[in-house]
Structure 1
Amino acid sequence: MKENFDFLMPSVNFFGAGVIKKVGDRAKMLNMKKPLIVTDKGIESLENGPVDQTLASLKGAGVDYVVYDGVEPNPKVHNIQEAKKLYLAEGCDSIITVGGGSAHDCGKGTGIILTNGDDITKLAGIETLENPLPPLMAVNTTAGTASELTRHCVITNTETKLKFVVVSWRNVPLVSFNDPMLELDVPRGMTAATGMDTFVQAIEPYVSTNRNDITDGQCIQAIKLVEESLREVVANGHNVEARTKMVEAEMLGGMAFNNADLGYVHAMAHQLGGQYDAPHGECCAILLPIVEKYNIVACPERFAELAEIMGENTEGLSVRDAADLSIKAMRQMCDDVNIPRSIKAIGAKPEDFELMAENALKDGNAPSNPRKGTKEEIVKLFQEAYDAE
């Protein structure tokens, strides 16, 4: 655990039913004259959905805007280039993202190439940005990636099929909005996948080499909230209490990994997402029990604690036996929300594992994993995830 650390999060975070109405006032306070709204066609098409409500709030505050609705899942380099072109053509001065992780990452990526050079692939890594982004706010619509309040920007290079991360304090939005009422109609499959991403983002920082006492507390509460609510919200998406708890968990997990970082689950999931354009949360969920079982030997005490946090009875067990129960609990959660067990489900091919393993070890999330692996070991983990039944 680090003795000295910084702690990053947006300066203002609005949470609760109806907070989307505050978007216009905050935009005005930040002197946004003409923000580019970054979203996708699916969200934009929803009648009185998140985009309509965001635009209504901006209109009410007298703030002009332009909409870019070309965001794709696992946002691509060409998405941010298109958004930049529209931003400049329309004379925009700021960015507001509306959606889940893809919208937020696309908005961050757009801001990055507006101020730090057009080739974002050269900026992959940690703290590579020299210049601030345009003013950025994020309206969140899924309890998943927590990109609305983190320093991570994840973009896919379709030419190389590589999903890479630009990690910088400059990427942290100035203001985030988490309104649980925006999530009531999120489809069941997406709810499960994004919810599992929240679960992973609370577990990985807890065993990260960069953890601290503050992030530990956030992880513990986030895990408890997921245990209390994810199954319920997948079963009934209109359960407002469960939706609210999942949003709280997402925010806490995001704050935790924003500062303690992640590990091999995300490093490997990024390769699956880049190679096969697969849903990020589903990739993380499939890998979670397999990668964390591999990690146990590095910090069995932490995994024993995770088992207790997840509600497992560890009384009278050795540290290692208690630690093993945490993996059982992770697997049970995946099964309960209908996550497939094998990466075959997302189209994975064994002939790609060596390249993906090599790139996973280069991923910005790899250094904080508690166990330091080799390329051969990561290939074996991909193979185990492929063979799982």
Structure 2
Amino acid sequence: MANRMILNETAYHGKGAISHIVPEIQRRGFKKVLVVTDSDLVKFNVAQKVTALFDQAGIAYQVFDKVKANPSVDIIKLGVEQFKQCQADCLVAIGGGSPIDSAKAIGIIINNPEFGDVLSLEGVAPTKRKCVPIIAVATTAGTAAEVTINYVITDEEKKRKFVCVDVNDIPVVAIVDPDMMSSMPKGLTAATGMDALTHAIEGYITKAAWELTDALHLKAIELISRSLRAAVENDPKGREDMALGQYVAGMGFSNVGLGVVHSMAHPLSAYYDTPHGIANAVLLPYVMEFNKDYTGEKYREIAKAMGVKNADEMSQAEYRRAAIDAVKCLAKGVGIPEKLSQIGVKEADLSALSVDAFNDVCTGGNSRDCSAEEILEVYKTAF
């Protein structure tokens, strides 16, 4: 069986990477940009770090700043309409997962109008044409949306999030500049960082994992584990290593999928508007416990990548426990709550959440096959 890898055409990393956005727009011949972002990034002058470069270079643009956390079907439709009205020919997404995911959906629909209802994009949609070219500027170190073929939309009417997987949606250019992340508050830095760790661990143990993605995921676990605490304290080196680590995780999981942590996290955002990173961070150790007997020797490598000493001398039970405990320790160290009850989840909803999680596209990739009833038990343990 052949293993597929899909990555950006071009990616720029490190301090000052943002300076490459204007030359990329110019050399590709784009005439007008629709900037997709959120109102907070405009309010706190983060988006202006990009639009100021457009002003200096005389690049025409409009700003669509209606994106909210967990972007909805209606938000995507608004973005599609603004793109048409302003007659743009490319998208620049500035933000974390929500703006970049929104740009992907907007760009796909513009070039594949038969999917204009948005809902039909769920799963692996049979789109025929590449989306409008996207340049993705990451402002959080977590989702890696700038390098993935996935995006997530919220169906507010049915209170559910749905995952879209489309080889035609990947941004042509990714800008991963730690300076664009320096204004992230501690809580958001911690949540998005744990989201990145979840990507790396789930991608490493998913059924589709193979040697190349294993190497990427282990490196990502190492980078994230050693740098997240420093990034939360806004240390420049910590920021830079986190920016790289989350991107490397994205290179891997985008091509092999995820697992039940994400399946269980998606309904929490749909029901309660829970930040995705927080949901993943709380659930990760409980799902690792659930999966541990279906992971071979991989937890030993996770433990080693997270800095656990003498993991090679441990028994299987010991290194599996060490890997889970290392995740718990990191999460606690950056202020992540330990239980779902602490983040507003209602016990009465657990059964319905379990059904939605079981039906999520990520469930099929989990290292351990599971039922809705088994997912419910994990929810109860995490509650």
* Class of the TM-score when normalised by the shorter of the 2 chains: over 0.9
Equivalent residue for 2:86?
90
Find the partner of 2:378 among 375, 378, 381: 381
Equivalent residue for 1:152?
150
Q: Where does structure 1 lack aligned partners over 5 or more consecutive residues?
A: none
Aligned-residue CA RMSD (Å): 1.3
Find the partner of 2:255 among 252, 259, 263: 259
Find the partner of 1:297 among 293, 298, 301: 293
Equivalent residue for 1:135?
133
In 1: Cα distance, 2:108 partner to 2:271 partner: 23
Find the partner of 1:276 among 257, 265, 272: 272
Contact 1:25 1:61 in 2 (8 A): no
Equivalent residue for 1:230?
228
Q: Does 1:33 align with 2:54?
A: no
Once the 2 structures are TM-superposed, how far is the Cα of residue 46 of structure 1 from its aligned partner?
2.4
Find the partner of 1:111 among 107, 114, 119: 107
Q: Where does structure 2 lack aligned partners over 5 or more consecutive residues?
A: none
> Can you list the C-alpha shifts for 1:87-127, whole angstroms capped at 9, x where unaligned?
11111222110011111011111122223321111221024
Contact 1:141 1:183 in 2 (8 A): yes
Contact 2:300 2:312 in 1 (8 A): no
Equivalent residue for 1:366?
363
> Can you list the C-alpha shifts for 1:69-95, whole angstroms capped at 9, x where unaligned?
111011111111111111111112221
Contact 1:97 1:138 in 2 (8 A): yes
> Can you list the C-alpha shifts for 1:347-389, whole angstroms capped at 9, x where unaligned?
2122222222222222221111100001100011111111xxx
> Can you list the C-alpha shifts for 1:225-279, whole angstroms capped at 9, x where unaligned?
1121111221x21x11110000010110010101121100011111111111110
**Amino acid across the alignment from 1:220:** L
In 1: Cα distance, 2:92 partner to 2:226 partner: 32
Find the partner of 1:196 among 194, 201, 210: 194
SS at match of 1:288: helix
Equivalent residue for 1:351?
348
**Amino acid across the alignment from 2:297:** E
Once the 2 structures are TM-superposed, how far is the Cα of residue 129 of structure 1 from its aligned partner?
2.3
Q: Does 1:124 align with 2:122?
A: yes
SS at match of 1:171: coil
SS at match of 1:70: strand
In 1: Cα distance, 2:361 partner to 2:221 partner: 23
In 2: Cα distance, 1:345 partner to 1:76 partner: 25
Contact 2:218 2:301 in 1 (8 A): no
**Amino acid across the alignment from 1:5:** N
Q: Report matched runs for 1:206-245 at 5 Å.
A: 206-234=204-232, 236-237=233-234, 239-245=235-241
In 2: Cα distance, 1:307 partner to 1:320 partner: 12
**Amino acid across the alignment from 2:379:** F
> Mean Cα displacement is larger for which, 350-359 or 173-182?
350-359
Q: 1:228 to 1:365 in 2, by over 3 A?
A: same
Contact 2:33 2:92 in 1 (8 A): yes
SS at match of 1:365: helix
SS at match of 1:128: coil
Equivalent residue for 1:102?
98
Q: 1:314 to 1:19 in 2, by over 3 A?
A: closer
Equivalent residue for 2:40?
42
In 2: Cα distance, 1:321 partner to 1:168 partner: 40
How many residues align structurally? 380
SS at match of 2:221: helix
Aligned residues: percent identity?
Answer: 34
**Amino acid across the alignment from 1:347:** G
> Mean Cα displacement is larger for which, 257-266 or 56-65?
56-65
> Mean Cα displacement is larger for which, 223-232 or 314-323?
314-323
Q: Does 1:314 align with 2:283?
A: no
In 2: Cα distance, 1:53 partner to 1:334 partner: 31
SS at match of 2:297: helix
> Can you list the C-alpha shifts for 1:18-43, whole angstroms capped at 9, x where unaligned?
11121111112222211110001111
Find the partner of 1:81 among 77, 89, 112: 77
In 1: Cα distance, 2:138 partner to 2:313 partner: 43
Once the 2 structures are TM-superposed, how far is the Cα of residue 315 of structure 1 from its aligned partner?
4.4
Equivalent residue for 1:329?
326
Once the 2 structures are TM-superposed, how far is the Cα of residue 280 of structure 1 from its aligned partner?
0.4
In 2: Cα distance, 1:63 partner to 1:232 partner: 37
Equivalent residue for 1:173?
171
In 2: Cα distance, 1:316 partner to 1:303 partner: 13
In 1: Cα distance, 2:141 partner to 2:155 partner: 25
Q: Does 1:17 align with 2:15?
A: yes
**Amino acid across the alignment from 2:252:** A
Equivalent residue for 2:55?
59
**Amino acid across the alignment from 1:317:** M
